[in-house]
Structure 1
Amino acid sequence: MAAPADKRKIVKKRMKKFPRFQADRFKRMNPAWRKPRGIDGRVRRRFKGATLMPSIGYGSDKKTRFRLKNGFYKFLVRSPADLEMLLMHNEKYAVEIAHNLGAKKRKEIVERADQLRLHVTNRFGRLRAEENE
């Protein structure tokens, strides 16, 4: 199993939720963020005590953005052939098997990933331990 080449410390800034303004007051209103555009809106004018708006300052460090906690970047795989792309990049990317694959194809992917020394994040999904008889 390969270890990540880059050992940079991953700093996640505040993981803040940004609900839509007044979405808690109306059931029909989706809480997904919408930028306020009204002429009198206190959120748009950034009054003290009002809901905070998302801005660039809440983002993570560019060098470690999208990194997993183990230091790898996630790479979604749907077939064993997709693993060949990661042949030279086993220290940068970790394999994540797509959720809609069956046990047979998952087993093939895990076996091929072991041969290529790739890290698989969801290695044991849908795979039962076979009993030794």
Structure 2
Amino acid sequence: MVALRPLVKPKIIKKRTKKFIWHQSDRYVKIKHNWWKRRGIDNRVRRRFKGQILMPSIGYRSNKKTKHMLPSGFRKFLVHNVKELEVLLMCNKSYCAEIAHNVSSKNRKAIVERELLYPDLLKDKPECHEEG
């Protein structure tokens, strides 16, 4: 059977892959790494001095056409049951399924069996552990 390919697969350009970190978070343990805009009057990051930590700005935004797109060209769709997988069959050229983490093994097996009729619909093939 032929593998499914996305309808369109534009080149995905990531303008920045590194995380934006908080100013001086590497110096102190009490300061978390997640980004927080500095608002001090003398702050060198806010004033954009050369060699300082970069601030997030609108220029780092992803292209709307490739935002949330996987390298395969598909977008993820979270599936909790077989019924949601049926909905995905109508737009299987642009979305692929990902089984939610809180789905039971019984429902997981049912989703995988349903997916066997349409290969390449699931993003990751799970290994269903048999109990015996």
What TM-score, normalized to structure 1? 0.86
- 1:36 and 2:41 are equivalent in the alignment: no
Tell me the CA shift for residue 117 of structure 1. Answer: 5.0
> For the Cα contact (< 8 Å) 1:90–1:117, is it kept in 2?
no
Q: Which amino acid aligns with 1:20?
A: W
SS of match in other structure, 1:83: helix
The SS at the match of 2:97 is strand
RMSD after superposition: 1.7
- Contact kept? 1:43, 1:51, Cα under 8 Å: yes
Task: Tell me which residue corresponds to 1:96.
Answer: 98
CA offset digits 1:33-65 (Å, max 9, x no partner)? 000111111100001111110112122222111
Range 73-82 or range 115-124, more displaced: 115-124
- Of 72, 86, 89, the residue aligned with 1:87 is 89
CA contact (8 A) 1:77 1:95 kept: yes
Tell me, what secondary structure is at the counterpart of 1:88? helix
- What's the counterpart of residue 28 of structure 2? 26
Deviating more after overlay: 7-16 vs 61-70: 7-16
What amino acid maps onto 1:103 in structure 2?
A: S
Letter in 2 for 1:88: M
**3-state SS of 2:78 partner:** strand
The residue that corresponds to 1:109 in the other structure is: 111
- For 2:53 and 2:106, the matched residues in 1 are separated by 49
What's the CA shift string for 1:58-104, capped at 9, x where partnerless?
A: 22222111000110000001111111221210111000001122322
Could you list the runs of 5+ residues in structure 1 that have no partner in the other structure?
A: none
Give 1:10 shift. 1.7
Match of 2:73?
A: 71
The equivalent residue for 1:127 is 128
Aligned-pair distance for 1:116?
A: 4.5
- Provide, for residues 14-44 of structure 1, a one-character-per-residue CA deviation record: whole Å limited to 9, x for no partner: 2122110011111111110000111111100
TM-score by length of structure 2 reads: 0.87
Instruction: Report the number of matched residues.
Output: 128
